[in-house]
Amino acid sequence: MFVRMLRQSFAGNRKRKALAAITVALSAALITTLFALSVDVGDKMATEMKAYGSNIRVTPRSENMPLIIGGRDFNPLRGRDFIDEAGLPKLKDIFWRHNIVGFAPRLTLPVVAADQGSAPEFSLIGTYFDRNVPLPDDPGYRTGVRTVNPFWHVAGAWPADEAGDGPVGVLIGGGLAQRLGAAVGAELALAAPETPLATAAVVRVTGILTTGDIEDQALVAPLGFVQKLAGQPGKFQSIDVSALTVAENDLSRKASRGAEALTPEEYDVWYCTAYVSSIAHQIEEAIPGVSARPIWQVASGEGAVIGRIQSLLFVVSVAAIIAAAMAVAALTTTTIAERAAEIGLMKALGAAPWQIYLLFIGEAVIVGLAGGAIGVVAGYLMAQGVGWSVFGTGVDVRPITVPVVLVTSVITVLVGSIVSSREIASLLPAEVLHGRQ
Amino acid sequence: MNQIDRQAPLSTDETRRKVIGLDSLTKDFGSVRAVDNVTFDVFAGEFVGIMGPSGSGKTTLLNILSLLDVPTGGSYRLDGVETARLTEAEQVVIRREKIGLVFQQFHLIPYLTAVENLMLAQYYHSMADRGEAMEALDRIGLADRADHLPSQLSGGEQQRVCIARALINDPALILADEPTGNLDEGNEERVMGLFKELQAGGRTIILVTHNPDLGAQTDYVIRLQHGRRVA
């Protein structure tokens, strides 16, 4: 009979029920959109933030503090530890390998322009520009500074990573180009006084590089060329890694004091979450003898921005839920007033209060589920619209969104209904059925 | 609640058993006294009329008798139990077990069919039984209208459904408030015939009306004026 009453109640009050469902659907759509954005904004923003460069630097564990002044590395090459180039593919073998957007090894060699007499030394940086690094599951994988540092601006052309005929192509930092009077197409003879062979080599400038950092006062060349000049084949000093990470929180901050500071349970959660610190930890596990350190200016900036955006979305979601609950409460109050005679009759026929509440709550649950289902679909479409208009790509609406929004919708409707259902208890059948004489 | 035997029928062969006992019953609404010091008894199997002009307190008195309202003063004993001592939950139980209500305005649930309106009363009493509800409709000549909504029934048909609903759980006490007020003469006769059949079956009936012809068909009439019993 209860099911029959529910069915007939809906059949006989289509417009009012539809209005309630639409109210819930609007709220559910907003919640779906905001929830999807809230979950996905971390990835989206992390991807956007990759434009600001790498967020993890990998160096040999025994490496000294960097001593770079005015773009020149004052640490002597002799006696330094290096990282073996053959171990680079291991970066894409860690638990969070798919979050490694790219990496660029770096070998810095102090050089002088051979034809400039007593001109001061400057750095020759060897790296990958966009080089193929064959991986077991992706033989065509390419990476380098063009991926890791998309903000690098080159006036001219990017050099090739592999040596060809003629002088090796290099990028020259804007400041150094000005100092040396070099332009695109210029050839420079380099001498590397610190190397055992004191080798000299000629390079050709293919582009002027602007980074706003030390590269503005340096030459950037293919890694193989610099390794050969330095007499360190297959070696380099550091790796800049760009990884997609999630916002830092209390757990990751605790882990930053050392993984041993975590309980086993915390360690599992931390290890299986794409914190910059857990990815750095996994890099250290994958490549023996290295130290991977988050570049906290970048990592914490990402975390702060993403965290604030998620907080904002959460607040707006809560506001939407409260607004929907208030709307449903108003609607239910009106419904109860309109159905006062019906409620009074039920009481007169001997219905227990819970039986009357059950009917209204049953109706509320159905309205909540129907409105929630409509809202999920509408919210999915809205999220895609927002994703394309803001990030230029769709938003990944996780399956968990569906039950979360449905449950939220039902709870919202229940809260709204229960608040106004107090009217039922105070309704006197004598008043609504007979009136008083 | 231990004073109430829910299953005991109010009407038995002991026709002189007192079903309703009012003693100096009073009901005030603010400064207005709607029922003023009314005293009377009703015995099992009696068909009693309550008459009086509009505003005389008839409906207020019926609300108190049906436990839909509470008196301000005096005593109302139902089947020997002082109703003032009953909790709200106990009043609900008595309403659904022992009292059948017939309304002038029918008060059928508009989105339920005729048979479903009867089944609703069954549902609150114990368990909905469509077969039994159909039999009840058949007894009042409305089996062929079972699946019609109230809006598709005439006033007389709606009132008969209302009466069938009041009887579906076999109550011992039937309280009817102007049951023929919205009916034509033919339907009025039919409804009164139904009440007489019910009385013959041993049920106690209290009929509120302002129609002297209907009052004349009851065993005796209690007359109210300005809330007081005048006869």
**DSSP letter (8 states) at residue A138:** B
Place of tokens 């990573």: A161
Is-contact A220 A170, C-beta < 8 A?
yes
Q: How many Å apart are CA A264 and CA A280, to the nearest integer?
A: 19
Q: How confident is the model at residue A103 (pLDDT cuts 50, 70, 90)?
A: very high
The CA distance from A30 to A304, in Å, is: 24
Is the Cβ of B79 closer than 8 Å to some Cβ of chain A? no
Residue A434: closest CA among chain B residues belongs to which residue? B59
Q: pLDDT: is A107 or A54 the higher one?
A: A107
CB B57 within 8 A of CB B36: yes
A71 in Cβ contact with A123 (< 8 Å): yes
The pLDDT-based confidence of A429 (bands split at 50, 70, 90) is: confident
Q: Do B63 and A430 touch (CB under 8 A)?
A: yes
Cβ <8 Å between B120 and A349: yes
B103 part of contact set with chain A, CB < 8 Å: yes
Identify which of B68, B111, B125 has the shortest CB distance to residue A348: B68
Pick the residue from chain A with its C-alpha nearest to B151: A12
* Chain A positions touching chain B (beta carbons under 8 Å): 1-2, 4-5, 8-9, 11-13, 341-342, 344-352, 355, 428-430, 433-437
Q: Which chain A residue has the Cα nearest residue B68?
A: A430
pLDDT for A207 beyond 60: yes
Q: In whole angstroms, give the CA distance from residue A386 to residue B106.
A: 55
Residue B10 resides in a domain = no
Residue type, B121: A
Instruction: Answer yes or no: are the C-beta atoms of B104 and B59 closer than 8 Å.
Output: no
B52–A contact, CB cutoff 8 A: no
Q: If pLDDT is split at 50, 70 and 90, which confidence band does B6 have? A: very low
The answer to whether the CB atoms of A352 and B92 lie below 8 A apart is: yes
Is the sign of the CA dihedral A213, A159, A192, A195 positive or negative?
Answer: positive
Average pLDDT over residues A348-367: 84
What percentage of chain A reaches a pLDDT higher than 70? 87
Instruction: Give the nearest partner residue to A429 out of B57, B68, B112, using CB atoms.
Output: B68
Size of interface A-B (CB pairs under 8 A): 91
b/e map A379-402, b = 16+ CB within 10 Å: bbebbbebbeeebeeebebeeebb
CB contacts, 8 Å: B109 with chain A: 342, 345
Q: Average pLDDT in the A247-255 region?
A: 79
Note whether A351 contacts B110, CB cutoff 8 Å. Answer: no
pLDDT at B18 over 80: yes
* B4 Cβ contact partners less than 8 Å away, ≥ 6 residues apart: B79, B81, B86, B90, B93, B94
Residue B3: per-residue pLDDT: 40
The token pair at A283 is: 């890099």
B101 vs A12, A348, A355: nearest CB: A348
Which domain covers residue B98, as residue numbers?
Answer: 18-229
Which 8-state DSSP code applies to residue A215? Answer: G
Query: Average pLDDT for residues A106-118, to the nearest whole number?
Result: 79
**pLDDT mean across residues, chain B:** 86
Q: How far is CA A208 from CA A417, B168, B209, in A?
A: 68, 96, 106
The span from the CA of B209 to the CA of A307, in Å, is 73
Say yes or no: B177 contacts chain A, CB-CB below 8 A.
Answer: yes
The model's pTM? 0.58
- In this predicted structure, what is the pLDDT of residue B205? 94
Q: Report the interhelical angle of A296-338 vs A340-348 (nearest 10°).
A: 70
Look at residue A64 in the predicted model and tell me its pLDDT.
52
Q: Give the per-residue pLDDT at B4.
A: 41
Cα distance between residue A104 and residue A238, in whole Å:
8
Instruction: Report ipTM for this prediction.
Output: 0.81
Residue type, B195: F
Chain A positions touching B171 (Cβ under 8 A) are none
Cα(A381)–Cα(A292) distance, rounded to whole angstroms?
41
Distance in angstroms (rounded) separating the CA atoms of residues A117 and B33 = 120
By Cβ distance, the residue of A347, A428, A436 closest to B34 is A436
| pLDDT, greater one: A208 or A261 | A208
Domain count, chain B: 1
Tokens standing for A39?
């979950």
Please list the residues that pair with A69 across neighbouring strands. Answer: A72
pLDDT of B13 higher than 50: no
Residue B13 resides in a domain: no
B209 interfaces chain A, CB cutoff of 8 Å: no
Q: Residue range A133-137: average pLDDT?
A: 88
Q: Which chain B residues have a beta carbon less than 8 Å from that of A342?
A: 109-110
Residue B212 in any domain: the answer is yes
Query: Of A65-69, A331-335, B60-64, where does the model show the most confidence?
Result: B60-64
Q: Is residue B7 part of a domain?
A: no
**Residue A311, helix vs strand vs coil:** helix
| Interchain contact, B110 vs A12, CB within 8 Å | yes
Residue B88 lies in a domain: yes
CB A262 within 8 A of CB A254: yes
Chain A residue whose CA is closest to B149: A12
- Give the DSSP H/E element, type plus range, for residue B95: helix B88-98
pLDDT in tens, B164-181: 898 888 888 999 988 887
Can you tell me the distance from the alpha carbon of A151 to that of A153, in angstroms, rounded to the nearest whole number?
A: 6
Q: Is the pLDDT of residue A119 over 90?
A: no
- When mean pLDDT is compared across A332-341, B76-85, B200-209, the lowest value belongs to A332-341
Mean pLDDT confidence for A300-326 = 76
Above 60 in pLDDT, residue B85?
A: yes
Q: Are A135 and A141 in contact (CB under 8 A)?
A: yes
Predicted confidence (pLDDT) at residue A408 exceeds the cutoff of 60: yes
Q: Does B100 touch chain A (CB under 8 A)?
A: no
Chain A residue whose CA is closest to B93: A350
Closest-approach residue (CA) in chain A for B55: A437
Count of Cβ atoms closer than 10 Å to residue A202 Cβ: 12
Residue B101 in domain: yes
- Residue B56 carries which DSSP code? S
Does some domain include residue B6? no
Q: Reduce the DSSP state of residue A219 to 3 states and report it.
A: strand
The rounded distance, in Å, linking the Cα atoms of B209 and B218 is 11
CATH code, B170: 3.40.50.300
Longest dimension (CA), chain B: 50
Q: Which of B52, B59, B45, B60 is nearest to B10 (CA)?
A: B45
Asked whether B119 and A1 are in contact (CB, 8 A), the reply is: yes
Burial classification of residue A122, based on how many CB atoms lie within 10 Å of its CB (0-12 exposed, 13-18 middle, 19 or more buried): buried
Closest listed residue to residue A407, CA positions, set A34, A118, A48, A31: A31
Tell me, yes or no, whether B199 lies in a domain: yes
- All residues at 6 or more sequence positions from B97 whose CB lies less than 8 Å from its CB, including other chains: A350, B6, B7, B125, B169, B171
Instruction: Lay out the sheet containing B32-43: strands in order across.
Output: B32-43, B18-29, B73-78, B81-82
Chain-chain contact of A13 with B111 (C-beta, under 8 angstroms): yes
Cβ–Cβ under 8 Å, residues A56 and A283: yes
How do the residues of chain B divide into helix, strand and coil, expressed in percent and rounded to 5?
35, 25, 40
Contacts of A341 in chain B (CB under 8 A): 107
> B220-225 and B47-51 as β-strands: parallel, antiparallel, unpaired?
parallel
Rg (CA), chain B: 17
Q: Which long-range contacts (CB under 8 A, 24 or more apart) does A65-70 make?
A: A68/A108, A68/A123, A68/A214, A70/A217
Name the residue with tokens 């603010």. B30
pLDDT at A126 over 70: yes
| Token digits of residue A10 | 């809906």
pLDDT for the residue numbered B175? 93
By CB atoms closer than 10 A (0-12, 13-18, 19+), residue B145 is buried
Q: Using the predicted structure, report yes or no on whether residue A436 has a pLDDT greater than 60.
A: no
Residues in chain A: 437
Average pLDDT value over all residues in chain A: 81
Tokens of A113: 């322009």
Residue B37's pLDDT band (cuts 50, 70, 90): very high
Q: Could B128 and A1 be called an inter-chain contact, meaning their C-beta atoms sit closer than 8 Å? A: yes
End-to-end CA distance of chain B: 34
